[in-house]
A and B are shown apart, each in its own frame.
Chain A
Amino acid sequence: MIIGLLKIIVFPGFIFLTVYGLLFEYLDRKVHARLQNRMGPPWYQPLADFLKLIGKETIIPADANKTIFQILPVVSLAAVAAAFVYVPVFGKASIASFQGDLIVVLYFLSIPTMCLFLAGWYSRSVYSTLGSVRTLTQMFAYEVPLFMALLAPALIAKTWSITGMTAFYAEHPLYILINIPAFIVALIAGQGKLERVPFDTPEAETEIVAGPLVEYSGRLLALFRVAIDCELVMVASLVSAIFLPFMTGHAVLDFILYLVKTVAVLLFLALMRSVMARLRVEQMVNFCWRYLTPIAILQIIINLLVRGGLGL
């Protein structure tokens, strides 16, 4: 019981997640900066930013709904932390798992996006309202291909649990090759989920200042920032657990492998962010429905055929 709680709260649960999230933000910024021929921040910069924000005054707009305005960052962080419980980090198994936890995790991951939407909506500012509308529009575009891309590998693994899928693919590593299209779709849709360039229309700085978070400040903004960092870790972990399930069987070695895999995913996401311009919201929706969704559907059909053909 106590060990279980410690696992959830300290390692590999919440505290590990936040620390790794801040580290991820540093890596992301550093790589982004180096690709841009800049120096980039020192390693403690995300922590310093976080501490600074915590010390700042929190201003809540007079028109905003106070309770919801304050509760949203917490809900958003809690949802990501809850989702992280079901992803294998240390060793083969996650902290908790059951049949169907993949679906639960996907829905947990939708909560931060919904929180962002509500945050913008309840801020009662034109910029944030516009940002929220864009957040929601974008969500309808990437959510479908992302879900399908993550569910397609489950068809071959014949399990809806992330731990189960990881174990299956670790035993049959060659099946991963079938899932390569879904892997690419998941990475691109994941970039959309994380609202990073080229899909950062909701917070497009040069158009609507900061989008949904424009009215947030101080502690609440710090929490939102941490939630976004944790979401980055979460997406990288989920993608690497499903599409890169290479295992040694030794817990510590697997943990190191986990770090390597997630950092590799992050590097790809950072590269994508550095080499592209921001798309318009309708270009983004077009792109998702015209290219990502058909590829994801194709992947599902392929996986069904493979499953039938191999008599799995």
Chain B
Amino acid sequence: MSEYNRVVIPIGPQHPSLKEPGCFTVTLEGEKIVDVVLGIGYNHRGIEKACESRNYTQIIYLLERVCGICSHSHTTVFCQGVEELAGVEIPRRAAYIRVIVAELERLHSHLLWLGVAAHEIGFDTMFMYAWRDREAVLDILAAVGGNRVNYGINTIGGVRRDIDDSLRQDIVKMLDALADQVKYYQELALTETTLAARLAGIGKLSGEDALKYGAVGPVIRAAGIDFDIRAVDPYAAYGEIPFKVITDTHADVFGRTVVRILEMLESIEIIRFCLKNMPDGDIVTKAPRRIPAGEVISRVEAPRGEDTHYIRSNGTERPDRVRVRAPSEANWHAMRHMLLGQYLADAPITIAAIDPCFSCTDRAIVVNSGRETEVMDWPQLRQYSIDWYKKRGIDVAAIKMPERRMYF
């Protein structure tokens, strides 16, 4: 087919298959994708900059809100880094609680993904089932931390809430019920024909390409590479916990589905082990308010993959720089490679298969258009806007505002 037959379809920024704004400008020949332009930048919130004007304790609350799903991962990785800078060792019980919450978070994130993925391929029944089961995990997380998504567990030097005996029993009960459900999904994914027909061979990313593009998490593990921060660089209590790193050799969306489902079963085992072997003792140690100068790179395995934070401290209460590299950002680069040559019908599930989180990924983008730029201060900017309107015949100074009643 020639260029004449090409159709450009925008998937986004507002589109039913995207839960957050992002723009995929897809060029089609018939139903085949021949070109993709990825656009992000609709959701930039300036969190990294905001971190520089807050003290370390305040930053935890801010970073908890980087991502609605891996909120615990972002605070864990940050606290870990700051603890390393300050030379603080957290109590073992705190490390176990961090692991338990992290694995609960992985469970609810993977269940959420399973639902979204099922919805992308029009399998709404599985979507509803997966989200129903996710509710049970969210209830437990609410019981642990008081909130459904931002649990507020971590603090520098340990954790803020303990897990007592009655809560422990609740968690065990929930896990038993959930394990059955997850096994059912495993069977469903492996045997249901329409599901396999829609997932197998889609969004291929070989191990070699995955390494080249720097993919992380389930995406790279589905390509047969056992890269899991929990195993390669154990943090919190992972060094003491026996667990398997799940890999798969399909290297496609089907493989990513299998990896995520098996990881859920593994997470359940990890939580069971932690609850059984949790040591007694304190849950927090005292950490200094001023963190010694230095820099650190800290990383954890978030549900979506490796989450990295870089922290530079200058010896005061506030950090010099905090850099957040969320897992979606690492997986983003392989997206174009995965989409090219596919059918349009497979684009939503291919995009969803990396479990993209747009708000974690968004960066401020500087568009260098080659025009001259200048920096203005506030009064100059005000004058500029007044002149801009005057040029168009509107005299801002002449506009009478209605008199406002002051309430203070």
Contact = CB atoms under 8 A, between A and B. Distances in A.
B122 A277 contact: yes
A201 interface: yes
Contact of A127 (B9, B122, B124, B126): B9
Interface residues of B, number: 32
Contact of B17 (A130, A207, A274): A207
Contacts of A250: none
Nearest to B122: A278
A35 B197 contact: no
A283 B197 CA distance: 8
B384 interface: no
Interface in B325-358: 343-348
B128 interface: yes
A130 B129 CA distance: 31
A198 interface: yes
Contacts of A35: 125
Contacts of A208: 9, 344
B128 A36 contact: yes
A130 B197 CA distance: 22
Nearest to B28: A130
Interface in B74-133: 118-126, 128-129, 132
A199 to B, nearest CB: 10
Contact of A126 (B7, B122, B198): B7
B8 A277 contact: no
Interface string B35-67: 000000000000000000000000000000000
Interface in B1-36: 7-10, 15-17, 28, 31
A209 interface: yes
Interface in A176-235: 197-198, 200-201, 204-209
B194 interface: yes
A280 B343 contact: yes
A206 B17 CA distance: 4
Interface in A267-312: 274-283
Contacts of B237: none
Given A205-B16, A207-B347, A200 B129 contact: no
Contact of B15 (A198, A209, A279, A283): A209
Contacts of B31: 281-282
A37 B123 contact: no
B128 A277 contact: no
Given A130-B344, A280-B346, A38 B194 contact: no
B345 A207 contact: yes
Interface residues of A, number: 28
Interface in B184-225: 192, 194-195, 197-198
A38 B7 CA distance: 39
A277 B121 contact: yes
A280 B345 CA distance: 6
A277 B8 CA distance: 26
A282 B343 contact: yes
A204 B125 contact: no
A207 B348 CA distance: 6
A45 B350 CA distance: 35
A36 B129 contact: yes
A300 to B, nearest CB: 27
Contacts of B118: 277
Contacts of A277: 118, 121-123, 126, 192, 194-195, 197-198
Interface in A72-125: none
Contacts of B343: 280, 282
Contact of A279 (B126, B132, B197): B197
A200 B122 contact: yes
A197 B122 contact: yes
A283 B194 CA distance: 10
Nearest to B199: A277
Contacts of A274: 124-125
Contact of B123 (A130, A204, A276): A276
Contact of A36 (B124, B197, B346): B124
A36 B31 CA distance: 31
B198 A37 contact: no
Nearest to B346: A280
B194 A206 contact: no
Nearest to A276: B194
A209 B16 contact: yes
A198 B193 CA distance: 12
Given A127-B9, A277-B195, 4 more contacts: A126-B9, A206-B120, A207-B17, A280-B345
Interface of A: 35-38, 126-127, 129-130, 197-198, 200-201, 204-209, 274-283
Interface of B: 7-10, 15-17, 28, 31, 118-126, 128-129, 132, 192, 194-195, 197-198, 343-348
5 contacts: A204-B345, A207-B345, A277-B118, A277-B198, A278-B123
Closest 7 CB pairs of A and B: A278-B122, A206-B17, A277-B123, A36-B128, A277-B194, A206-B348, A280-B345
